[in-house]
Structure 1
């Protein structure tokens, strides 16, 4: 049995500026069921994934391209890690971090890379798709019983994981810190490796400048350095 995933981009959905084509032309709606309705609170389209037949008509007729329908294999439906809300982004499966090894996450924007990193770092508690009633840690650990990730999440639960995450929007560094790159590094250096990273990341010619004067590439390398000087797992 195929599992439907209906994703609505609430920023693109503009019911006041369209003819509610998704509701009018939905074949399930025409049969008398309420597959696509207008949510009374959000005033946005709402899709019932349980009765959606995956025809894709709503995707084609939406003038703002706000709807995406994805058909998933049944087994993926049982491995949902996180979902932000109804008809919203959801994450399936997680990579398993291992001490001393490097894991690369590749994918286009919106694929869930940041969500996965935030979950694995302990900044975001996975809700297993139960966004209305998020589970407690005991349920999450039971979900991962028999996997390597259970041990990882046990450490997060007990506060034994320390993570250091490089910011994506490096230009925000200049908005929150007024000083040189070296001053920023020394502020966060918990490992005593500031000078080593300055040389390794080729920051010698820029590290004494105010962060507001650095180029995009220099800010990227500085952000990598700041992330690396922290004493994290």
Structure 2
């Protein structure tokens, strides 16, 4: 058996190497240190102490005097993985990626920090979807495509990247024409942020006043109707629920007169009906504009987008953008977890939905039974028809927001007392 025998696991996260003294020539080494986890003052610097090249005099890992965190040389690292296993705070990742990706590096946040490979390309008149897990660069894509961030092409030591370098890098590609317009400030942008719960900390006052300030197209009445904002237009922003904040953020974004609109997770906090309403409104916007949507809800994405860019990688370490696909094809590939053209499996198991015939009436013993229930609050009344829950049964409660689903469950659990009726 050869001494330097190597076993390679081809997936989107890692290259596993056994008894090898050097990284595969066909791979790009990526060393990542999670700065928020690395705590040199609380450990024995195991990453340095157990590193084989370090013990023979080759500097691979050191404590950066500026950040006071571990730093790793990707040139001298041999990818043995010992530092990954020895770190008590799980702060290190050593990853091998295909050599071909070396030329596709678009942005890197710093030494041993997150990096993004490739870019999606918006198309005028279409809704473009970005689909992938959290922490792999979707928000970074939005920041670059909106012009907020100029991609550094991996040259993270530069204080400020030059758009001329970016345009030269993308010359001859589909992205060049779009990025040229962004660089020349020929396109105006509007961004719906991901974390709408922060809006109440940034803005104060009435919802109506905020929307009037952003209404550059005279569409406030139209959007108030289609997004059902009327019920909270005169309330203070600090009093809004998550779903109301989401609809406020979407409306404020759409009221801006922009050329390209970005919606980062527009369906979170919304019920099924509201998600479809929002999808229709966003879709109507795309007829003469660029629209990019980051979305996890596959049903909404299927309804909303024409083209989808799949993204895969490892959270906080790197993200890769696959080639564009028609939305149905992209969703099926995402569920399957395998990219044929790149020979990459980015999920350990395929996600399958088994079709089963309806079960016969459940005959197990009842866990609880309830008569007709009512619960009255000021301005609201919930009525529940009689029913029972049986052992082993999975029961779904479906309906729009603010119609009493949580109140119903609390009455069943004994946390709320019905106004009439009993459980």
What range describes the TM-score normalised by the shorter chain of this pair?
A: over 0.9
Q: Find the counterpart in structure 1 of residue 169 from structure 2.
A: 143
Q: Which stretch shifts more, 130-139 or 68-77?
A: 130-139
SS of equivalent to 1:23: helix
Match of 1:42 in 2: 67
Distance change (3 Å), C-alpha of 1:211 and 1:135: closer
* Aligned residue among 145, 148, 153 for 1:128: 153
| 1:193 counterpart residue number | 219
Equivalents in 2 of 1:85, 1:24: separation in Å?
24
Q: Deviations over 1:157-176 (max 9, x none)?
A: 21101110012222222223
4+ runs deviating over 3 angstroms: none
Instruction: Measure how far apart 1:181 and its partner are.
Output: 1.5
1:103 partnered with 2:128? yes
Aligned residue number for residue 137 of structure 2: 112
The 5 Å alignment of 1:1-233 reads 1-133=26-158, 134-233=160-259
Which is richer in helix?
1
Bigger Rg, structure 1 or 2: 2
| Farther off after superposition, 35-44 or 10-19 | 35-44
Q: Describe the SS at the equivalent of 2:129.
A: coil
| CA deviation after TM superposition for structure 1 residue 67, in Å | 0.9
| CA RMSD between the two structures | 1.3
Deviation, structure 1 residue 220: 0.7
Contact 1:122 1:161 in 2 (8 A): no
CA contact (8 A) 1:84 1:131 kept: yes
SS of residue in 1 equivalent to 2:127: coil
1:131 to partner: Cα distance:
1.0
Q: C-alpha distance in 2, partners of 1:172/1:187?
A: 19
SS in 2 for 1:104: strand
* Residue 103 of structure 1, CA deviation: 1.6
Q: CA offset at residue 63 of structure 1?
A: 0.6
Tell me the distance in 1 between the aligned counterparts of 2:185 and 2:251.
25
What is the alpha-carbon distance in structure 1 between the residues aligned to residue 112 and residue 203 of structure 2? 38
- Specify the SS of the correspondent of 1:6: strand
Query: TM-score of the superposition, structure 2-length normalised?
Result: 0.53
Q: Is the 8 A contact 1:191 1:231 kept in 2?
A: yes
How far apart are 1:74 and its partner, in Å?
0.7
Supply the distance in 1 between the matched residues of 2:68 and 2:237 (Cα, whole angstroms): 43
Gaps of 5+ in 1: none
Question: Structure 2, unaligned stretches of length 5 or more?
Answer: 1-25, 260-423
User: Partners in 2 of 1:210 and 1:135 — Cα distance?
Assistant: 41
Question: Which structure carries more strand by proportion?
Answer: 2
